[in-house]
């Protein structure tokens, strides 16, 4: 990515907090704050106070969850782009309003600083039609653009680029490199990254599809959902709330905290054992599917809160991937190093890494790239 001498304020609006980080031209974090946002928006006075304490800020990068088919790359924000982002609210009703609230609040403090929208869906815009298309009636797909968008793209983009660096591949053209990036956190998804471009991913039209997550169900049979609505009389709003907030590990094990799940499973708690095993079964199966999308695998990356911090999940996941050539060294895996590190066993064909999730670096790089055009 092109670099300019720019200090970038990275704005990440989450479900209950607003994360602000200032990155220097060398991607060092020079200032930051995590502000509470209990109703989806942080207090404007707190935002102003934080930003005014940060010192130099030349540009702003906003993480925006959904770019739909409008935005397949980062874009300089103007009034038209803001309207475009707002028009996608129906596709991400839980996330888009928070991003817009943060955009407006930060712009009020820094009206002269260029602001760039960086989209979590954009990295997956390169997915081919075979992977992106749902087998639904053509008139539905034409009317509503029903397709698989994928999410966590900023994390997948950074992790795949970082592992290419560690493997010595050219940073802008890692030709032929086949990487499965595993973003495992409260939300979780995989990406098949071929030659630096997303070829497939596990999340789809919404972030509910794919892996078992902390409170989200991941993929379920749509017929099951229809049965609950038609035969059990479950209202659609209740179905949505249950699939989003009361499923996943929380529904299986009674807790959404992977650390607690593993601790209880080690003590023989049957619900926790089931939760752990269902999580791993779906994870291993999906890694296999991502490898198949690239006709093989050269490296696997674990990132995100669970991916970075749970040596047990990494070793158990790898234990079912020997057929792909994945083998993890137990002592390296147990180290939980502070930096990005290799956990693969010596002599294995497929390399395995733990990479710290740094969406802030990815966003700062995208901001500089847009400004350098």
88-140 pLDDT, tens digit per residue, is 998 888 889 999 999 999 999 999 999 999 999 999 999 999 999 999 999 99
Q: What pLDDT is stored for residue 97 in this prediction?
A: 92
Domains, the chain, ordered by start: 8-119 (3.30.420.40), 171-359 (3.30.420.40)
The tens digit of pLDDT for each residue in 45-84 reads: 999 999 999 999 999 999 999 999 999 999 999 999 999 9
pLDDT at 84: 97
Work out the mean pLDDT of the chain and round it to a whole number.
94
The sign of the dihedral angle between the CA atoms of 200, 202, 208, 214 is: negative
Residue 350 has pLDDT above 60, yes or no: yes
pTM: 0.95
Whole-number pLDDT of residue 3: 46
3, 41, 43, 42: which is closest to 23 by C-alpha?
3
Give the active site residues.
120
- The pLDDT tens digits of the residues spanning 193-245 come to 999 999 999 999 999 999 999 999 999 999 999 999 999 999 999 999 999 99
Q: Say what the pLDDT of residue 92 is.
A: 86
Residue pair 341/316 in contact (Cβ under 8 Å)? The answer is no
The CA dihedral of 278, 281, 286, 292, to the nearest 10 degrees, is: -160
Q: What is the pLDDT of residue 166?
A: 95
Contact indicator for 205, 148 with CB cutoff of 8 Å: yes
Whether 40 has a pLDDT exceeding 70, the answer reads: no
Phi-psi region of 196 (alpha: psi -120 to 50; beta: other; left: phi over 0): left
**Sign of the four-CA dihedral 43, 48, 53, 55:** positive
293-320: pLDDT as tens digits: 999 999 999 999 999 999 999 999 999 9
């Amino acid at each position: 990515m092109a670099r300019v001498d720019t200090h970038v304020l990275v704005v990440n609006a989450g479900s209950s907090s607003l994360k602000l980080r200032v990155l220097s031209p060398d991607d060092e974090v020079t200032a930051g704050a995590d502000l509470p946002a209990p109703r989806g928006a942080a207090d404007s006075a707190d935002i102003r106070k934080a930003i005014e304490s940060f010192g130099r800020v030349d540009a702003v990068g906003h993480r925006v969850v959904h770019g739909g088919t409008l935005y397949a790359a980062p874009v300089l924000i103007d009034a038209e782009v803001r309207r475009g982002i707002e028009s996608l609210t129906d596709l991400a009703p839980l996330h888009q309003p928070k991003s817009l609230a943060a955009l407006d609040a930060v712009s009020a403090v820094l009206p002269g600083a260029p602001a760039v929208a960086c989209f979590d869906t954009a990295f997956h815009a390169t997915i081919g039609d075979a992977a992106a298309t749902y087998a639904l009636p053509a008139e539905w797909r034409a009317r509503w653009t029903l397709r698989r968008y994928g999410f966590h793209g900023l994390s997948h983009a950074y992790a795949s680029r970082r592992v290419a660096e560690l493997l010595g591949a050219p940073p802008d053209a890692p030709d032929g490199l086949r990487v499965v990036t595993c973003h495992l956190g409260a939300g979780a998804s995989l990406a098949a990254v071929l030659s630096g471009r997303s070829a497939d991913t596990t999340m789809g039209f919404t972030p509910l599809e794919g892996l078992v997550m902390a409170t989200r169900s991941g993929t379920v049979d749509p017929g099951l959902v229809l049965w609950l609505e038609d035969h059990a009389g479950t209202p659609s709003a209740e179905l949505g709330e249950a699939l989003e907030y009361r499923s996943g590990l929380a529904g299986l094990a009674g807790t959404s905290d992977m650390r607690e799940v593993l601790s209880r499973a080690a003590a023989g708690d049957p619900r926790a054992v089931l939760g752990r095993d269902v999580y791993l079964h779906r994870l291993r199966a999906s890694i296999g599917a991502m490898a198949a999308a690239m006709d093989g695998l050269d490296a696997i990356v674990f990132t995100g809160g669970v991916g970075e911090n749970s040596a047990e999940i990494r070793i158990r996941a790898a234990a079912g991937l020997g057929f792909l050539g994945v083998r993890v060294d137990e002592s390296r895996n147990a180290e939980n190093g502070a930096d990005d590190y290799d956990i693969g066993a010596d002599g294995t064909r497929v390399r395995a890494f733990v990479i710290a999730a740094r969406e802030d670096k990815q966003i700062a790089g995208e901001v500089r790239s847009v400004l350098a055009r």
